[in-house]
Structure 1
Amino acid sequence: MSLADPVSPRRLLESMMSHGVVLVATSNRHPDDLYKNGIQRESFIPCINLLKSRLHVLNLDSPTDYRKIPRPPSGAYHFPLDKSAASHANGWFKFLGDFENDPPHTATHRIWGRDVVVPRASGKAAMFEFAELCGRPTSAADYLELMRWYEAFIITEIPGMTHTSRDLARRFITFIDAVYESRAKLVLTTAVPLSELFVSRTEVDNALREGQKDGHPEGGEHHDVDDAMRHLMDDLGLNMQALKNSSIFTGDEERFAFARALSRLNEMASREWIERGLGLEKDGGKKDMESWQRVRSRWREDML
């Protein structure tokens, strides 16, 4: 549901509740933070009040960071840029593509009157260099259209991004969100560890110094913080006050978006994510593949 018209969700919820519909909803934010800083947010406040008065709000935050539980070796689907990175990327492209029936080729898709070029495509897999994917003006519509055509993406030559390259970072985050929501598969080669993908080590060190200068020691407590934000702080070695006092991000929305992107990248690096839908016998074979395809099909229908 779009929040372009903040009144519509309230009317929908009121109608559902008046008909006795049982509603179970999940969100990565507390109701008080929904549509935060949104245009005409005051029109959405009645909807928030309705949610809080008619529903039980349960905090499902867990003290366990399941992303960091050791997994069986799986060849991680994120590779640092070294001499073997290109070999890894090409190997995954061959595995996820269909070289025998659809040799690698350039593909062009028409999106809203513009041509979006896929430098290398094979079967349901697409391969880009980062500059080809995010180094030119692109929109969420471009990425969503790519999700409808492809089920796996290999992105190479991803640089570390700093405050001077926020436009690239925002485009990449939009792409990550599209991949995640469509349940596609993602393989990356990066110049820096994932935890430093959107923030350089120098920026983190400066933020720590700023926090200490303001009287907030390194490693302070950060209770009542959403899960994505806690992951970001843990990955960067920051406490909440240092994060808020730093100049790394321009505001809460940007902090949240970057934190969510890191969390999603970690989840998509799991063996379970990459293997789901491949029809492996240990996961249920054909039944697993059909289930994954149904999820993908429903997503495509929602995007029409």
Structure 2
Amino acid sequence: MFELMGTPQPLTVVAKELAREVRVMCFDELFVTDIGDAVILGGLLQVMFEEGVVLVCTSNQPPEKLYSHGHNRERFLPAVAAILKYMNVVAVDGGEDHRLHPGQLHQRYWVAQAGQPSALKGIFEALSAGQPVHDSQVMLGYRSINVVQHSDTAVWCRYRDLCEQPLAAMDFIALCDRFSVILLSEVPPLSAAQREAKIARGTEDGVEQVTAGDRELPQLSPNDDGVRRFIALVDECYDRRIPLYVEAPVPMDELYTQGYLSFAFRRTLSRLQEMQLERFTET
């Protein structure tokens, strides 16, 4: 996309290039929470359908529910219409979460005890036995992040240094590329009161300016930027089968109980729960 800056209709160009290279494209767990993603995905889908690309998607929501309460959702509605026009929707919900099937437990989540040392200290020492241990910053590409400690295989970070910094999914990919185990301590309770906000005409996110009056933004809480990054971190660890050890002052099911990201966090919670099983690293 950066290479196409200044190009008229860059999404059309990207979609047509993809269509020349692939005839079938698969999206696993399609989900939209961000206006930028909604606009980009909507533009790509429509052109790819027109170019004859076959799309196969899984999602936890039917098409008409995608981005259902999102900011300026009307921009995504043409994509929903295209999905319904070009794709067959098949319900495959078996009524249960396979991640919660019973199995041998392997604790990777701790509730922090006030005034007590972090439980992750002993975990890190065991995982790093026989390796040099450092407390210096870790470089991820051109970024450096503060860590509690790291060895050749394990890294121990604080939530504020990983999820409250301007990091993106690519940074978490780099983190998983470098380390085979990740520990995350000082994770706060993530729920917080939502706050209303408005955006002035012409100041919306660079995808396309608002042209008709002020618009309301999603009711985000002060914690939700960090929550988005936490979700991205869990997703990357889950997809790579990287064990993620977490310490927080509340039980796992109380981490995020209300807010704009509640639906998205349900999957995160399910993935964290599966990480508490021995089989997580065996599949």
Check whether TM > 0.5.
Answer: yes
Could you say which residue in structure 2 is the equivalent of 1:102?
132
* TM superposition shift of 1:194: 0.7
The residue number in structure 2 matching 1:268 is 275
Q: Secondary structure at the match of 1:128?
A: strand
Cross-structure match for 1:58: 90
Residue by residue, what CA displacement relative to the aligned partner does 1:15-58 show, whole Å, maximum 9, x if unpaired? 234xxx4x422122211122445566444433322322332212
- Which of the numbers 5, 9, 16 marks the counterpart of 2:52? 16
Aligned match of 2:232: 177
> 2:106–2:277: 8 Å Cα contact kept in structure 1?
no
Residue 266 of structure 1 deviates from its aligned partner by 1.6
Aligned partners of 1:92 and 1:16: how far apart in 2?
Answer: 51
**Alpha-carbon separation, structure 1, partners of 2:70 and 2:147:** 34
Q: CA RMSD in A?
A: 3.3
Where structure 2 has 5 or more consecutive residues not aligned to the other structure, the ranges are 1-26, 28-36, 195-220
Aligned to 1:80: 111
Q: Could you give the per-residue CA deviations for residues 182-218 of structure 1, whole angstroms, max 9, x where no partner exists?
A: 523201122211111124xxxxxxxxxxxxxxxxxxx
How many residues in Structure 1 have an aligned counterpart in Structure 2?
217
Contact 1:108 1:115 survives alignment (8 Å)? yes
1:193-272 paired onto structure 2 within 5 Å: 193-199=251-257, 248-249=258-259, 253-272=260-279
User: For residues 151 and 130 of structure 1, what CA distance do their matches in structure 2 show?
Assistant: 18
Q: Which amino acid aligns with 1:90?
A: K
Percent of pairs identical after alignment?
26
Q: Is the 8 A contact 1:154 1:187 kept in 2?
A: yes
Q: Please give the residue correspondences for 1:137-152 in structure 2 after superposition, counting only pairs within 5 Å.
A: 137-140=165-168, 142-152=171-181
Give the one of 246, 271, 280 matched to 1:188.
246
Letter of the aligned partner of 1:157 in structure 2? E
Aligned to 1:167: 222
Is the CA contact (8 Å cut-off) linking 2:234 and 2:271 kept in structure 1?
no
Structure 1 letter corresponding to 2:50: E
2:49 partner SS: helix
Structure 1 Cα separation of the partners of residues 101 and 184 of structure 2? 26
Shift of 1:154: 0.7
Relative to 1, partners in 2 of residues 1:149 and 1:119: Cα closer, same or farther, differing over 3 Å? same
Cα separation, 2, equivalents of 1:148 and 1:122: 14
Task: Specify the code of the residue in structure 1 equivalent to 2:49.
Answer: L
The higher relative CO (CA closer than 8 Å, separation ≥ 6) is in: 2
TM normalised by structure 2 equals 0.62
CA contact (8 A) 1:118 1:128 kept: yes
Q: Say whether residues 1:157 and 2:193 are aligned partners.
A: no
CA distance in 2, matches of 1:263, 1:44: 28
Tell me which residue corresponds to 1:25.
57
In the alignment, the residues of structure 1 paired with residue 76 and residue 231 of structure 2 have an alpha-carbon distance, to the nearest angstrom, of 27
CA distance in 2, matches of 1:130, 1:121: 15
8 Å CA contact 2:100–2:274 kept in 1: the answer is no
**What is the distance in 2 between the residues matched to 1:116 and 1:157?**
16
Q: Which of residues 88, 95, 102 in structure 2 aligns to 1:70?
A: 102
Q: Could you tell me whether the CA contact under 8 Å between 1:160 and 1:190 is conserved in 2?
A: yes
